[in-house]
Amino acid sequence: MSCKHYKIKVEGKVQGVWFRKHTQEKAQALNLKGFVRNEPDGGVYVEAEHENETILNQLVQWLYHGSPLSQVHTVHVERKAHCQNFKGFRINR
**Across 19-70, where does the E strand assignment appear?**
33-38, 44-50
Do the Cβ atoms of 14 and 69 come closer than 8 Å?
A: no
The catalytic residue positions are: 20, 38
Residues 6+ apart with CB under 8 A from 54: none
